[in-house]
C-alpha cells in the first residue's frame, strides 16, 4: 500500500473514531511504526490531523469530547505514572470524589489495587469508576453515584448530578481536564460537565487535577477551574520547561511524575 492510500485510511479511521494509535495502525496496515509516524507527520503538516503521543486526533474533535473508549487508548503510560503519584494523596478511610475521564479512571484503578483504598468512600459521576468499585470483592469501599445526563465520556452531569453533589462533603476531589490554558486555567468542551466539576470542587477541602502534558497544547471551551482554585496539579515530566515554570508560578503545587512515553516505546521496538 502506497503512502497516499495509507494516509487516506488514517483519515478515514479518524472520522469514525476521533483518534488513532500508531501501534494499532502499524498492525492493521502491516508496516512499521516509523512509517505510520511519517504518514501522521505529513498529514499534520497539511493541517488534517493533530499529532499526540502515541497517535493522532482529528482536528474536528479538538473542541468536542471524544468517546471514552477512544480516549482510554491514548497516553496509557503517562496516565499510569500520574495515577501512581496521585494515590499518595489518599489515606485509608478518606471520603473522596473522582470525576469523569480516562485519567481519573486509571487513577481509580491504581487506587483500588492499593492498601490506601481500605475503608474509603468514593463519590463519582463516572460510570466506569462506579463499575470498578462494584466489581470489587475484597475491599471495604463504598461508592456514591451522582446520577444525571450521560456524556460521550461516560460521565454523569447536569442539574441532577449537581444537586446530589451539593448535599455532600469530601476530603479531596480528583478531576481530569480536556485542556490547560495558561494563565486561564482548566477547561472542558462540555459546559454541563464543567459545571458538575465545579460543583465537586465546591464540596471538597482539596482539589487535585490529573492531566498529562499534551493537554497544555490543546484547547477547549468551558472553564471549570482557575489555577488559584486548585491545590495540586499532577502531570508527567514530558511537560516542557516553559509551561512547567509558568504553571508552577500559578498553582500551589505542581507534581511531575516520571512517565514512559508511548511513542518512545514504539521507536525502540520498531
Average pLDDT per 10 consecutive residues for the chain, totaling 270 residues: 85 76 90 93 85 77 47 66 96 96 92 93 96 82 95 91 97 95 92 95 98 86 95 95 96 89 42
Distance CA(28)–CA(42), nearest Å, equals 19
Amino acid 174: pLDDT: 98
- The residue whose grid cell reads 509516524 is 37
Peptide bond connecting 7 to the previous residue in cis, omega within 30 degrees of 0: no
Is the separation of the CB atoms in 57 and 22 below 8 Å? no
CA dihedral 121, 126, 132, 137 (to 10 degrees): 30
Helix/strand/coil for 190: coil
Query: What does the pLDDT read at residue 145?
Result: 97
CA-to-CA distance for 126 and 156, rounded, in angstroms? 6
Provide the pLDDT for residue 76: 66
Q: Look at residue 217 in the predicted model and tell me its pLDDT.
A: 78
| Whole-number pLDDT of residue 110 | 93
Q: Give residue 75's pLDDT.
A: 53
Residue 229 to residue 122: CA distance in whole angstroms? 21
Amino acid at each position: 500500500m502506497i503512502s497516499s492510500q495509507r494516509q487516506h485510511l488514517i483519515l478515514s479511521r479518524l472520522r469514525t473514531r476521533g483518534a488513532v494509535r500508531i501501534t494499532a495502525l502499524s498492525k492493521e496496515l502491516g508496516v512499521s511504526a516509523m512509517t505510520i509516524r511519517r504518514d501522521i507527520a505529513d498529514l499534520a503538516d497539511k493541517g488534517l490531523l493533530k499529532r499526540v503521543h502515541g497517535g493522532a486526533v482529528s482536528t474536528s474533535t479538538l473542541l468536542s469530547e471524544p468517546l471514552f473508549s477512544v480516549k482510554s487508548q491514548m497516553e496509557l503510560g503517562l496516565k499510569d505514572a500520574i495515577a501512581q503519584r496521585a494515590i499518595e494523596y489518599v489515606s485509608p478511610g478518606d471520603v473522596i470524589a473522582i470525576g469523569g475521564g480516562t485519567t481519573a479512571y486509571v487513577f481509580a484503578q491504581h487506587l483500588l489495587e492499593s492498601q490506601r483504598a481500605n475503608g474509603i468512600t468514593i463519590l463519582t459521576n463516572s460510570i466506569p469508576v462506579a463499575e470498578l468499585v462494584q466489581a470489587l470483592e475484597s475491599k471495604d469501599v463504598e461508592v456514591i453515584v451522582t446520577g444525571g445526563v450521560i456524556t460521550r465520556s461516560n460521565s454523569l452531569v447536569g442539574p441532577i448530578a449537581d444537586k446530589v453533589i451539593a448535599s455532600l462533603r469530601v476530603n479531596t476531589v480528583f478531576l481530569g481536564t480536556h485542556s490547560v490554558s495558561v494563565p486561564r486555567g482548566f477547561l472542558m468542551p462540555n459546559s454541563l460537565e464543567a459545571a458538575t466539576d465545579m460543583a465537586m470542587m465546591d464540596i471538597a477541602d482539596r482539589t487535585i487535577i490529573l492531566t498529562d502534558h499534551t493537554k497544555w497544547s490543546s484547547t477547549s471551551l468551558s472553564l471549570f477551574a482557575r489555577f488559584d482554585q486548585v491545590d495540586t496539579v499532577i502531570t508527567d515530566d514530558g511537560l516542557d520547561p516553559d509551561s512547567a515554570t509558568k504553571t508552577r508560578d500559578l498553582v500551589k503545587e505542581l507534581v511531575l511524575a516520571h512517565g514512559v512515553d508511548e511513542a518512545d516505546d514504539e521507536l525502540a521496538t520498531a
